[in-house]
Amino acid sequence: DAKTTQPPSMDCAEGRAANLPCNHSTISGNEYVYWYRQIHSQGPQYIIHGLKNNETNEMASLIITEDRKSSTLILPHATLRDTAVYYCIVRVGGGSQGNLIFGKGTKLSVKP
Protein backbone atom coordinates (compact mmCIF):
# COMPACT_ATOMS: atom_id res chain seq x y z
CA ASP A 1 0.00 0.00 0.00
CA ALA A 2 1.01 3.58 -0.61
CA LYS A 3 2.56 5.24 2.44
CA THR A 4 1.32 8.71 1.54
CA THR A 5 -1.95 10.64 1.80
CA GLN A 6 -2.90 13.32 -0.72
CA PRO A 7 -6.08 15.29 -1.40
CA PRO A 8 -7.94 13.80 -4.36
CA SER A 9 -8.22 17.05 -6.28
CA MET A 10 -7.18 20.70 -6.33
CA ASP A 11 -7.78 23.71 -8.53
CA CYS A 12 -5.32 26.48 -9.31
CA ALA A 13 -5.57 29.66 -11.36
CA GLU A 14 -3.19 29.96 -14.29
CA GLY A 15 -0.10 31.96 -13.36
CA ARG A 16 -0.51 31.40 -9.64
CA ALA A 17 1.51 29.06 -7.47
CA ALA A 18 0.15 25.55 -7.02
CA ASN A 19 0.90 24.05 -3.60
CA LEU A 20 0.26 20.32 -3.42
CA PRO A 21 0.41 18.77 0.06
CA CYS A 22 1.39 15.23 1.00
CA ASN A 23 1.37 13.45 4.35
CA HIS A 24 3.87 10.65 4.98
CA SER A 25 3.80 10.31 8.75
CA THR A 26 5.35 6.79 8.77
CA ILE A 27 8.35 7.68 6.61
CA SER A 28 11.59 5.97 7.61
CA GLY A 29 14.95 7.68 7.98
CA ASN A 30 16.32 6.22 4.74
CA GLU A 31 13.25 6.92 2.61
CA TYR A 32 13.18 9.69 0.06
CA VAL A 33 10.12 11.66 -1.00
CA TYR A 34 9.53 11.53 -4.76
CA TRP A 35 7.02 13.43 -6.82
CA TYR A 36 5.79 12.31 -10.22
CA ARG A 37 3.04 13.62 -12.42
CA GLN A 38 0.94 11.98 -15.09
CA ILE A 39 -0.55 13.99 -17.88
CA HIS A 40 -3.51 12.42 -19.63
CA SER A 41 -2.57 9.45 -21.86
CA GLN A 42 1.10 9.57 -20.89
CA GLY A 43 3.28 7.62 -18.48
CA PRO A 44 4.26 9.18 -15.13
CA GLN A 45 7.03 11.76 -15.33
CA TYR A 46 9.62 12.46 -12.65
CA ILE A 47 9.44 15.94 -11.10
CA ILE A 48 11.66 16.13 -8.04
CA HIS A 49 12.81 14.20 -5.00
CA GLY A 50 14.37 14.94 -1.60
CA LEU A 51 15.46 13.39 1.67
CA LYS A 52 15.25 16.12 4.28
CA ASN A 53 16.43 19.36 2.73
CA ASN A 54 14.26 21.54 0.54
CA GLU A 55 14.95 21.05 -3.14
CA THR A 56 14.39 23.15 -6.24
CA ASN A 57 14.79 22.43 -9.92
CA GLU A 58 13.53 23.90 -13.16
CA MET A 59 10.12 22.32 -12.72
CA ALA A 60 9.23 22.73 -9.06
CA SER A 61 10.25 23.16 -5.44
CA LEU A 62 9.89 20.57 -2.72
CA ILE A 63 9.45 21.65 0.86
CA ILE A 64 9.86 18.89 3.48
CA THR A 65 8.92 19.60 7.09
CA GLU A 66 11.61 19.26 9.73
CA ASP A 67 10.04 16.10 11.16
CA ARG A 68 9.73 14.76 7.56
CA LYS A 69 6.13 13.73 8.16
CA SER A 70 4.79 15.90 5.37
CA SER A 71 5.88 17.79 2.29
CA THR A 72 4.59 20.27 -0.25
CA LEU A 73 5.27 20.38 -3.96
CA ILE A 74 5.22 23.91 -5.31
CA LEU A 75 4.72 24.80 -8.96
CA PRO A 76 5.62 28.51 -8.84
CA HIS A 77 3.68 29.70 -11.89
CA ALA A 78 1.15 27.09 -12.94
CA THR A 79 0.21 26.85 -16.61
CA LEU A 80 -2.61 24.96 -18.32
CA ARG A 81 -0.07 22.30 -19.28
CA ASP A 82 0.50 21.53 -15.60
CA THR A 83 -2.99 20.01 -15.41
CA ALA A 84 -2.23 16.41 -14.40
CA VAL A 85 -2.39 13.86 -11.59
CA TYR A 86 0.45 14.41 -9.13
CA TYR A 87 1.79 11.49 -7.12
CA CYS A 88 3.76 11.75 -3.90
CA ILE A 89 5.77 8.59 -3.16
CA VAL A 90 8.18 7.58 -0.41
CA ARG A 91 10.89 5.18 -1.40
CA VAL A 92 14.20 3.82 -0.20
CA GLY A 93 16.80 5.48 -2.40
CA GLY A 94 19.35 2.81 -3.11
CA GLY A 95 19.83 -0.43 -4.99
CA SER A 96 16.88 -2.52 -6.08
CA GLN A 97 14.98 -1.84 -2.88
CA GLY A 98 11.86 0.21 -2.52
CA ASN A 99 9.86 0.09 -5.69
CA LEU A 100 7.71 3.08 -6.57
CA ILE A 101 4.32 2.43 -4.97
CA PHE A 102 1.70 4.81 -6.29
CA GLY A 103 -1.42 5.96 -4.49
CA LYS A 104 -4.30 7.72 -6.23
CA GLY A 105 -2.54 11.08 -6.31
CA THR A 106 -3.95 14.59 -6.54
CA LYS A 107 -5.70 15.67 -9.71
CA LEU A 108 -4.59 19.26 -10.28
CA SER A 109 -6.74 21.35 -12.60
CA VAL A 110 -5.20 24.63 -13.73
CA LYS A 111 -7.89 27.01 -14.90
CA PRO A 112 -7.58 30.12 -17.11
CB of 112 to other proteins, least distance (A): 25
Residue 24 to residue 66: CA distance in whole angstroms? 13
Nearer to other proteins, 53 or 96 (CB): 96
Nearer to other proteins, 15 or 97 (CB): 97
CB of 16 to other proteins, least distance (A): 26
Asked if 36 and 87 touch (Cβ cutoff 8 Å), the reply is: yes
Asked if 105 and 86 touch (Cβ cutoff 8 Å), the reply is: yes
Helix runs in the chain, H state only: none
Nearer to other proteins, 8 or 112 (CB): 8
Task: Give the residues lining the site for other proteins (CB under 8 A).
Answer: 2, 32, 34, 36, 41-46, 49, 85, 87, 91, 93-96, 99-105
Taking CA 5 as the corner, what is the angle to CA 2 and CA 8, rounded to the nearest 5 degrees?
A: 110
